[in-house]
């Protein structure tokens, strides 16, 4: 999920001119992910997530303190890897976006062993198309179909005990988009290489911009310098909190704030052939409870608003959700209540974020753990 901050190409094929591969057997992942590969830990650290200094007398004590902190992230990351591998095996032009999201989310729920707020989906599946960079997922009745000439950003999250994996990739079928997708992927990887304990966030942004703008792409007979979308950023991640307060810019000139030990970050970059600046557009689908007001009691007059808030608290807490997920819980006629919660600041709306029409955007993202002795790109896989 995205932080919004105020502050040589292969010739294109004709639309729909793609070859259908022969049918192959697709192995559907069914076994829940219960653990991931072991990693070494270090005995010198701060208490995970609290930020308080702690003296550990042995590596054993540290391992106990960090067991859930690290293994929860790794378990969620392993589920994320399996889900995206499966999705890439069957997604194709001609499918409805709502069907793609529903199947992806069903697989995620099954693999992580969804159990209330203990484990499940961290935020709605983003499947933003073309000039839309982020925060689009179809609402009920949306008949949008994935086309051969689309470039789609698949951004979804999985969590275990509120430890979130936020990772995204760009999906396209027309090879004309390869240079754009690769430029943004290189920029993300450059940002990851630059990241580390005591590294200033502004330095990461400067490196990302330098790498991304070094690329030119040719699309539909025009040449573009790939522009970072300057009002989109990476971000720190907290427990049950997708945006934990720090932003990782993708252009130079950001804050001097440094990364710290045991923090978790989503390093994500967005590149565009447009203005490199996004604005709210289209119908809203993403919502999230205001984390800072989560424990406050705000009086509600409308019974429907009270009921909807109870549903949100029980099923999502401070994690993001979408209208489709309310529909899945058999909530009906909730739009007025949802607006009421937004108007009172209890819930925030996150509309789709789009560059100018006719432009194309790409995204790549990984979650990294700032461990005492290394940075762990926990969501890294063989694919990206």
Q: Which of 269, 263, 238 is nearest to 368 (CA)?
A: 263
Catalytic residue (one of 80, 159, 172, 243): 243
pLDDT reading at 12 higher than 50: no
Structure tokens at 156: 């979804």
Catalytic residue (one of 135, 365, 366, 376): 365
- As a whole number, the mean pLDDT across the chain is 89
Catalytic residue (one of 159, 235, 286, 366): 235
User: Is residue 365 flagged as an active site residue?
Assistant: yes
What is the architecture, at CATH level 2, of domain 35-276+357-377? Alpha-Beta Complex (3.90)
pLDDT reading at 13 higher than 50: no
Of the chain, the percentage scoring pLDDT greater than 90 comes to: 80
SS3 198: coil
Residue 170, Cα to own-chain centre: how many angstroms? Answer: 12
What residue spans define the domains of the chain?
Answer: 35-276+357-377, 286-350
User: Is residue 186 flagged as an active site residue?
Assistant: no
Catalytic residue (one of 203, 263, 268, 355): 268
pLDDT digits (tens, 9 = 90+) for 51-68: 444 454 555 655 655 666
Q: Which residues pair with 224 in a beta bridge?
A: 217
Taking a C-beta distance cutoff of 8 angstroms, is the pair 158, 221 a contact? Answer: no
Q: Which residues pair with 46 in a beta bridge?
A: 53
Of the chain, the percentage scoring pLDDT greater than 70 comes to: 84
Q: Which of 198, 170, 165 is nearest to 184 (CA)?
A: 170
- What is the C-alpha to C-alpha distance for residues 64 and 66, in angstroms, rounded to an integer? 5
Residue in the structure block whose two tokens are 């205001």: 290
User: What is the pLDDT averaged over residues 207-229?
Assistant: 98
User: What is the pLDDT averaged over residues 354-360?
Assistant: 99
User: What is the pLDDT averaged over residues 292-301?
Assistant: 93
User: Is residue 72 flagged as an active site residue?
Assistant: no
Taking a C-beta distance cutoff of 8 angstroms, is the pair 267, 192 a contact? Answer: yes
Q: What share of the chain is helix, strand, coil (3-state, %, to 5)?
A: 30, 25, 45
More confident residue, 14 or 162: 162
SS3 343: helix
Q: Which of 190, 203, 193, 150 is nearest to 172 (CA)?
A: 150
Which letter, b or e, does each residue of 141-173 get, where b requires 16 or more Cβ atoms within 10 Å of its Cβ?
ebeeebbbbbbbbbbbbbbbbbbbbbbbbbbbb
Catalytic residue (one of 72, 78, 105, 155): 155
Structure tokens at 18: 């793609």
Residue 57 has a pLDDT of: 54
pLDDT digits (tens, 9 = 90+) for 78-131: 999 999 999 999 999 999 999 999 999 999 999 999 999 999 999 999 999 999
User: Is residue 268 flagged as an active site residue?
Assistant: yes
Secondary structure element (H or E) that encloses residue 155, with its range:
strand 151-160
Q: What is the DSSP string of 223-258?
A: EEEPEE-TTEEEEEEBTTBSS-S-EE-SSSS----B
Residue 48 has a pLDDT of: 46
Secondary structure element (H or E) that encloses residue 305, with its range:
helix 303-315
pLDDT digits (tens, 9 = 90+) for 304-326: 999 999 999 999 999 999 999 99
Interacting residues of 89 by C-beta distance below 8 A, sequence separation 6+: 26
Sign of torsion, CA 252 258 261 262?
Answer: negative
- What is the C-alpha to C-alpha distance for residues 362 and 335, in angstroms, rounded to an integer? 31
User: Is residue 150 flagged as an active site residue?
Assistant: no
User: What is the pLDDT averaged over residues 348-360?
Assistant: 99
Single pTM value for the model: 0.87
Taking a C-beta distance cutoff of 8 angstroms, is the pair 62, 261 a contact? Answer: no
Catalytic residue (one of 166, 263, 355, 376): 166
Residue in the structure block whose two tokens are 């994320």: 80
Secondary structure element (H or E) that encloses residue 78, with its range:
helix 59-90
Residue 40 has a pLDDT of: 42
Is the CATH code 1.10.10.10 the one for domain 286-350?
yes
Residue 34 has a pLDDT of: 78
* Ramachandran sector of residue 198 (left: φ over 0; alpha: ψ -120 to 50; beta: rest): left
User: Is residue 216 flagged as an active site residue?
Assistant: no
């Amino acid at each position: 999920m995205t932080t919004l901050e105020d502050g040589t190409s292969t010739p294109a094929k004709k639309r729909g001119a793609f070859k259908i591969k022969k049918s192959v057997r697709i192995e559907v992942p069914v076994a829940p992910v219960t653990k991931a590969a072991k990693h070494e830990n270090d005995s010198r650290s701060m208490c995970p997530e609290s930020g308080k200094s702690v003296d550990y007398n042995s590596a054993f004590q540290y391992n106990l303190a960090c067991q859930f902190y690290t293994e929860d992230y790794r378990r969620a990351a392993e589920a994320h890897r399996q889900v995206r591998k499966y999705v890439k095996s069957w997604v194709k032009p001609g499918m409805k976006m709502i069907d793609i999201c529903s199947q992806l989310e069903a697989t995620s729920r099954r693999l992580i062993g969804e159990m209330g707020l203990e484990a499940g989906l961290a935020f709605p599946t983003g499947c933003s198309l073309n000039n839309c960079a982020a925060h689009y997922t179809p609402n009920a009745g949306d008949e949008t179909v994935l086309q051969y000439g689309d470039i789609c950003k698949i951004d979804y999250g999985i969590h275990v005990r509120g430890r979130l994996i936020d990772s995204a990739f760009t999906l396209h079928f027309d090879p004309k988009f390869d240079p754009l997708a690769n430029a943004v992927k290189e920029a993300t990887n450059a940002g990851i290489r630059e990241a580390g304990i005591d590294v200033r966030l502004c330095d990461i942004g400067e490196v990302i911009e330098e790498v991304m703008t070094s690329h030119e792409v040719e699309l539909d007979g025009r040449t573009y310098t790939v522009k970072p979308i300057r009002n989109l950023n990476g971000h720190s991640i907290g427990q049950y909190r997708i945006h934990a307060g720090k932003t990782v810019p993708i252009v130079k000139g950001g804050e001097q704030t440094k990364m710290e030990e045991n923090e978790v970050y989503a390093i994500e970059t967005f590149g565009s052939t447009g203005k490199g600046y996004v604005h709210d557009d289209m119908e809203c689908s993403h919502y999230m409870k205001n984390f800072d007001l989560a424990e406050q009691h705000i009086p509600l007059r409308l019974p429907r608003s009270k009921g909807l808030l109870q549903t949100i608290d029980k099923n999502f807490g401070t994690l993001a959700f979408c209208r489709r997920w309310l529909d899945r819980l058999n909530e009906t006629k909730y739009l007025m209540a949802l607006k009421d919660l937004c108007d009172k600041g209890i819930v925030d709306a996150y509309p789709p974020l789009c560059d100018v029409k006719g432009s194309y955007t790409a995204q790549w993202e990984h979650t990294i753990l700032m461990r005492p002795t290394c940075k762990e790109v926990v969501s890294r896989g063989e694919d990206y």
